[in-house]
Amino acid sequence: MFTNFPLFPQQASVQAGQVDAIYFFVVAITAFFSLIIAGAIAFFAAKYRRRHDAEVGVAIHGSLILEILWSVIPFFLTMGMFAWGAKVFFDLYRPPAGAMEIFVVGKQWMWKIQHMDGQREINELHVPVGRPVKLIMGSEDVIHSFYIPAFRVKADVIPGRYNTLWFEATKPGTYHLFCAEYCGTKHSGMTGRVVAMDPADYQAWLSGGSASDSPVAAGEKLFQDLVCNTCHIQGSQGRGPVLTNLFGNTVELQDGGRVTADEAYIRESIVNPQAKIVAGFQPIMPTFQGLVTEEQLLQLIAYVRSLSAQGTAPSPAGTAAPTMPQKSDQPVQEPRKPGR
Ligand code: HEC
Ligand SMILES: [Cu+2]
């Protein structure tokens, strides 16, 4: 309809229709009541205007029926908006299980993206249509916000923690990608494009180009380069805890607390090891704050995740065999050591 002057971005994800539906519903209700109220004001002002100086108004005694109606009807309308909005909100913020994962790092002033196969891109994100995609996002410096208008999704990207965003593209095409949080002088230039492709084209794109190490392989290499492996020895208890099957499990802490080993916990264990000490261990792990970039942290996390049965990320669309390095000498399924 408005192809030359689009008032609205096109709908290109499963979320887009849901978000627009509630948006238009709220706009329609608001417009309807605004018109009724404005119209009534004008109509009554004319109808009951004072006609001569001596005119005295007639006392009225209110109407219970009217008052109940104009309280109860708006009550149900607004509660309807609330319930519907909450449903859409939860759907937007809960990625479905089995979504394809992609790492995103925001940095003044660019978006760095790494696929689980190792493909890297800057200010471009290639995704397959018809498959839920979950972005795991961190920031190298300040708060950014990852925004794809055509998908109706937006989420802050915050230094020091991970945030996720998910969508499922429905139409192949190229869409705008914006940073939606003022992040410095070149904020307005922090844009890019999202390319949604048919799964076959996406597979071809993945296998072409210059794939670097997968995040897991890069993380494994870092694990050796940063000599993590001198304390965290594979399969046997060293000076540090065994990291096999850590991800997704509960860790008992020195202070008697418990914590689930998720991305945020592993990140904290690396940049601020003293924050939570694992029960039975000495606080001897040095901090790696400043020694590893946000991207390298994501790679280390990907590696630690790959050591756990629960942590293995699902393979991208169409790939039959997992592309992550599978080590046969690792007791991946072995339960964590008791007494931790
Ligand atoms: C000097 C030995 C040492 C080095 C080097 C070391 N760690 Fe640790 N690490 C420890 C100790 C001891 C603990 C347990 C005490 C604690 O929580 O701080 C630990 C805890 C951890 C934990 C939490 C484990 C759990 O079971 O909850 C993770 C994850 C971790 N280290 C990752 C790393 C990574 C990644 C590196 C390299 C970048 C590294 N460590 C380097 C000694 C070390
Ligand atoms: Cu930004």
CA of 242 to the centre of ligand 1 (A): 9
Q: Which ligand sits closest to the CA of 189?
A: 2
The ligand with the least distance to the CA atom of 104 is: 2
Which residue puts its alpha carbon closest to atom 5 of ligand 1?
228
pLDDT above 80: residue 186: yes
Site to probe by mutation for ligand 1, drawn from 285, 295, 336, 340 as the one with most ligand atoms within 8 Å of Cβ, is 285
The residues, ordered by sequence, that sit 6+ positions from 241 with a Cβ below 8 Å of its Cβ are 232, 278, 281, 340
Rounded Cα distance, 304 and 268, in Å: 13
Give pLDDT tens digits for 209-251.
666 778 888 899 899 888 888 888 877 777 888 888 888 889 9
Q: Three-state secondary structure along the chain?
A: CCCCCCCCCCCCEHHHHHHHHHHHHHHHHHHHHHHHHHHHHHHHHHHCCCCCCCCCCCCCCCCHHHHHHHHHHHHHHHHHHHHHHHHHHHHHHCCCCCCEEEEEEEECCEEEEEECCCCEEECEEEEECCCCEEEEEEECCCCEEEEEHHHCEEEEECECCCEEEEECECCCEEEEEEECCCCCCCHHHCCEEEEEECHHHHHHHHHCCCCCCCHHHHHHHHHHHCCHHHCCCCCCCCCCCCCCCCCCCEEEECCCCEEECCHHHHHHHHHCHHHCCECCCCCCCCCCCCCCCHHHHHHHHHHHHHCCHHHCCCCCCCCCCCCCCCCCCCCCCCCCCCCC
* Predicted local confidence at residue 60, as pLDDT: 85
Closest by CA to 311, choosing from 244, 251, 258, 256, is 244
Protein residue with its CA nearest to atom 36 in ligand 1: 228
Q: Ligand 1 centre and the CA of 310: distance in Å?
A: 20
CA 80 to chain CA centroid, Å, is 26
Sign of CA dihedral 112, 114, 119, 125: negative
Q: Is the pLDDT of residue 177 over 50?
A: yes
CA of 284 to the centre of ligand 1 (A): 8
Domain with CATH 1.10.760.10 in the chain: 215-311
Q: How far is the centre of ligand 2, averaged over its atoms, from the C-alpha of 148 (Å)? A: 13
**pLDDT attached to residue 310:** 58
pLDDT digits (tens, 9 = 90+) for 263-317: 889 999 998 898 899 988 888 898 998 888 888 898 999 899 888 875 554 433 3
Q: How confident is the model at residue 148 (pLDDT cuts 50, 70, 90)?
A: very high
User: pLDDT confidence of 254, banded at 50, 70, 90?
Assistant: confident
Residues with CB under 6 A from ligand 1: 226-228, 230-232, 239-241, 243, 246, 251, 261, 266, 269-270, 273, 277-278, 281-285, 288, 300, 304
Q: What is the pLDDT of residue 339?
A: 41
> Which atom of ligand 1 is least distant from the CA of 241?
26
171 burial type by CB count under 10 A (0-12 exposed, 13-18 middle, 19+ buried): middle
Ligand 1, atom 29, lies closest to the CA of 266
Give 274 Cα–ligand 1 centroid separation in angstroms: 10
Domain topology for 215-311: Cytochrome Bc1 Complex; Chain D, domain 2 (1.10.760)
Where, residue-wise, is CATH 2.60.40.420 in the chain? 9-43+61-211
Ligand 2 centroid to 200 CA: how many Å? 32
Asked: is 9-43+61-211 a CATH 3.30.420.40 domain? The reply is no
- First CA to last CA distance, the chain: 63
Q: 318 and 129 in contact (C-beta within 8 Å)?
A: no
Residue 28 has pLDDT above 50, yes or no: yes
Instruction: Please give the pLDDT value at position 170.
Output: 95
Q: Which ligand is nearest to the CA of 188?
A: 2
